[in-house]
Structures are given as structure tokens and as C-alpha cells.
Amino acid sequence: MSEENLLKLVEVEEPDENDYHLQEQVGFILRKAHQRHVSIFAAHIADLTPPQFAALAKLRDVGETSQNQLGTLIAMDAATVKGVIDRLKARGLVELSKHEVDKRRLLVNLTAQGRDAIERLIPLARDITEETLAPLSQKEVATFMKLLAKLA
């Protein structure tokens, strides 16, 4: 199915300004899709939250980085990423150290246990993505991801 035909499938009639149906609203549909994905995630990876997994996966990719930079890289505000890092540290998956020059700056890195955990979880994460996108064809997945990226 071409992107044009796919878009025709999701076209909605011109809305009546007095007509509002929650189930047709982008935020509602995105939230339902997110809830489905989180449920699939929890079924495969029960001992980490998606934000905790994201932090470990990004640290695997970039290596040691500041706590603030990690938050930026995984789209989390400073308070949220601090909580995520604190929980991962308590489990021995990450370690914190002070920057050599700027002592106010906290650096985050994977521990050996954290590296082992994320390497073990990456194949499960691929399965989660595949299961989340299973209702779509390969072409639809490509179009969907392209359109989502435009919104992000």
C-alpha cells in the first residue's frame, strides 16, 4: 500500500466544530498505543521500566556522560532522569562519579552488571518493538515511523 493510499485510509471527514469525539483525537490514540507498548514491554522486561531501559541502552551507546546530558539524550527532564539514575544505581547497574574539573557535574556510567544486563535485554527490546508493530505491514511500519518522527 502506498503512503498516499495509507494516508487516505486515515483521513477523517472535515470535523464539525461542535462535534468532538475523544477516540478520534491524536493524543488519545497515541496514549492508547503507548499503553499497549508499555504492556508488551512489561510482559518481556518485568524488572525495569521503559525509562530505566532507555537510560541503560543510551549509556551502552554513548558511554560515560553527564546525568543532564543523558536526560537530554533520552528526552527526560532533570528531575526524572535523576530518579531513574538513583534507582539504577541502587540496583548496581550504573555508577556515578564527579567530573574531574567541574565537581558539580555528575557523570553516569554502566557498571559491569549494568553492561551485562543491557546486552541481555537488547534482543528482548527488539522483540518488543516487533510485537508492538505487528499489526502493521513492513511498508506501514516504515510510513508510521517516518510520520511519528515528524511529530517528535
Q: In whole angstroms, what is the distance from residue 88 CA to residue 94 CA?
A: 6
Any residues with CB less than 8 A from the CB of 114 and at least 6 apart, and which?
A: 56, 59, 88, 92, 93, 94
Grid cell 511500519 — which residue?
141
Please report the pLDDT score of residue 15 as a whole number. Answer: 60
How many whole angstroms separate alpha carbon 118 and alpha carbon 125? 10
Q: How far is CA 96 from CA 36, 55, 126, 139, in A?
A: 33, 13, 28, 43
Mean pLDDT of the chain: 91
Q: Which residues pair with 109 in a beta bridge?
A: 95
Q: Does the pLDDT of residue 6 top 60, yes or no? A: no
Q: How many CB atoms lie within 10 A of CB 68?
A: 15
**Does 13 or 20 have the greater pLDDT score?**
20
Q: Is the pLDDT of residue 43 over 80?
A: yes
Write down all domains in the chain, each with its CATH number in brackets.
47-134 (1.10.10.10)
Residue in this structure with the C-alpha cell 536526560, named with its chain if needed = 71
Confidence (pLDDT) at 11: 63
Q: What is the mean pLDDT of residues 66-75?
A: 95
54 pLDDT exceeds 70? yes
Alpha helices in 12-137 (DSSP H): 26-44, 50-62, 67-73, 78-90, 112-133
Strand partners, 97: 107
Tens-place pLDDT, residues 84-118: 999 999 999 999 998 777 767 789 999 999 999 99
Radius of gyration of the chain (CA): 19
